[in-house]
């Protein structure tokens, strides 16, 4: 089968790989019809992770079940399914608690598995014609009859819609509150959108990409351009002294408008932008080690973080991988009943063959490249 394979920093190629197949009785095989490129793929694409050369990327997957293992009870051939990016077993202590982003049964050294992801097991990605889905009864979200009509909405349930929602959950967004979101990439836009679904009174989105800020405004948020500094003061002014809640949707490759990386900038800006006793949710990825980071400290995964300021303000900070299964069923209902339309961020639908060009343009943050769906 054809698949998009990581070849090394800034190099990916569509090539023939061994067919995905049922390996255990609890697996199903899915023919992929939509698979997104994610900001997380860019960390790997840029060579800023331990991603091994030769692995297939792709963790935002949706398709049709074409084969089921002997031990599968619930899933049928022909089902249209969206797969959470997390691979979870359903029976470990963390999965039992709903923390499927930290599954203890996956083939990874640390808790948490994902398709086509560095440090999260050896599962192949879904930017390919077919995908093997482990523990399929647990992992597959079976979609309703409008699955194909709303495919571009439902595929956002694999990651970014639940992840954006998770940021608002970690931050504790309640009706009537103000929220500041750092990052207007797909995840930040979904955090802003989720804040509105949760009844926020005011949603501010910070970035320096004009096209993404425009999209945030189109979705009903207030865009804050951080190109020339002064954004924190602007936020304090607009929220009368600080937003109730803040979401970090950028991660360890945060940078200024000139592209200089400042990994600590968004966390420190959040501490400054959120009111005393407010909540901060961090879904942007941070790593325990990053050889490409700008300073000795940050190369060890440590941030010069304004801990004293945060403590003084009595803020709470929560973070981590999104537990997609904790939200995807409810968010699917919102899509099904026309209460949510996350596909508003999609800018490109392309065949798998065009994936290398799409990676290049999305990585360069070329104007207008907000979210790419590959259609193998």
Ligand X SMILES: NC(=O)c1ccc[n+]([C@@H]2O[C@H](COP(=O)([O-])OP(=O)(O)OC[C@H]3O[C@@H](n4cnc5c(N)ncnc54)[C@H](O)[C@@H]3O)[C@@H](O)[C@H]2O)c1
Helical packing angle, 328-336 and 160-171, nearest 10°: 120
**Interface with ligand X, residue 58, by CB under 6 A:** no
204 contacts 317 by C-beta, under 8 angstroms: no
| H or E element, residue 237 | helix 231-238
Closest contact distance (angstroms) between CB of 321 and ligand X is 4
Q: Which stretch binds Zn ion (CB under 5 A): 44-52, 54-62, 231-239, 346-354?
A: 54-62
Write the CB contacts of 110 (distance below 8 Å, at least 6 apart in sequence): 119
Phi, psi at residue 344, to the nearest 5°? Answer: -60, -15
Closest contact distance (angstroms) between CB of 45 and Zn ion is 12
**What 3-state DSSP class applies to 169?**
helix
10-39 positions binding ligand X, by CB under 6 A? 38-39
Q: What is the pattern of x (binds ligand X, CB under 6 A) and - over residues 184-223? A: xxxxx-----------------xxxx--x-----------
**Interface with ligand X, residue 94, by CB under 6 A:** no
| H or E element, residue 153 | helix 151-154
Helical packing angle, 186-197 and 160-171, nearest 10°: 60
**Interface with ligand X, residue 43, by CB under 6 A:** yes
Please identify which residue in 35, 40, 178, 298 interacts with ligand X, judged by CB under 6 A. Answer: 40
Distance separating alpha carbons of residues 88 and 323, to the nearest angstrom: 10
Q: Which is nearer to ligand X, 130 or 252 (CB)?
A: 252
Please identify which residue in 82, 321, 342, 373 interacts with ligand X, judged by CB under 6 A. Answer: 321
**What 3-state DSSP class applies to 36?**
strand
- Total residues in contact with Zn ion, by rule CB under 5 A: 10
Closest contact distance (angstroms) between CB of 185 and ligand X is 2
Q: Which is nearer to ligand X, 41 or 151 (CB)?
A: 41
168 contacts 152 by C-beta, under 8 angstroms: no
Residues lying near ligand X in the complex (CB under 6 A) are found at: 38-40, 42-43, 159-160, 163, 182-188, 206-209, 212, 226, 249-251, 254-255, 265-266, 283-285, 321-322, 365
């Amino acid at each position: 089968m054809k698949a998009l394979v990581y070849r090394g920093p800034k190099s990916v190629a569509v090539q023939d790989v061994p067919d995905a197949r049922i390996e255990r009785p609890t697996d199903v095989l899915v023919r992929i019809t939509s698979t997104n490129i994610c900001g997380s793929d860019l960390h790997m694409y840029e060579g800023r992770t331990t991603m091994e050369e030769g692995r297939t990327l792709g963790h935002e997957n949706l398709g049709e079940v074409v084969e089921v293992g002997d031990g599968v009870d619930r899933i049928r051939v022909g089902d249209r399914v969206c797969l959470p990016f997390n691979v979870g077993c359903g029976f470990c202590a963390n999965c039992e608690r709903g923390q499927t982003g930290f599954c203890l049964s996956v083939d990874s050294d640390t808790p948490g598995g994902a398709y086509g992801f560095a440090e999260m097991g050896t599962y192949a990605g879904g930017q390919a014609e077919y995908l093997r889905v482990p523990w399929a009864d647990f992992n597959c979200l079976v979609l309703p009859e409008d699955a194909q009509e709303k495919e571009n909405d439902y595929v956002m349930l694999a990651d970014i819609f639940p992840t954006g929602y998770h940021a608002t959950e970690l931050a504790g967004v309640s009706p009537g509150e103000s929220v500041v979101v750092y990052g207007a990439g797909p995840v930040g836009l979904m955090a802003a959108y989720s804040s509105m679904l949760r009844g926020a009174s005011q949603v501010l989105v910070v970035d320096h990409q004009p096209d993404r800020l425009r999209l945030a405004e189109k979705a009903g948020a207030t865009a804050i351009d951080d190109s020339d500094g002064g954004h924190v003061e602007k936020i304090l002014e607009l929220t009368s002294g600080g937003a109730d809640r803040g979401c970090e949707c950028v991660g360890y490759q945060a940078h200024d408008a000139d592209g200089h990386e400042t990994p600590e900038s968004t966390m420190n800006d959040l501490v400054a932008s959120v009111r005393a006793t407010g909540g901060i949710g961090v879904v942007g990825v941070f790593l325990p080690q990053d050889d490409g980071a700008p300073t000795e400290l940050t190369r060890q995964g440590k941030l010069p973080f304004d801990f004293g300021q945060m403590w003084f303000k009595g803020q709470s900070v929560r973070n981590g991988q999104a537990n997609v299964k904790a939200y995807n069923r409810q968010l699917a209902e919102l899509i099904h009943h026309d209460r949510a339309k996350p596909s508003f961020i999609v800018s490109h639908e392309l065949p798998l063959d065009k994936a290398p060009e799409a990676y290049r343009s999305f990585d360069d943050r070329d104007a207008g490249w907000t979210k790419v769906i590959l259609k193998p």
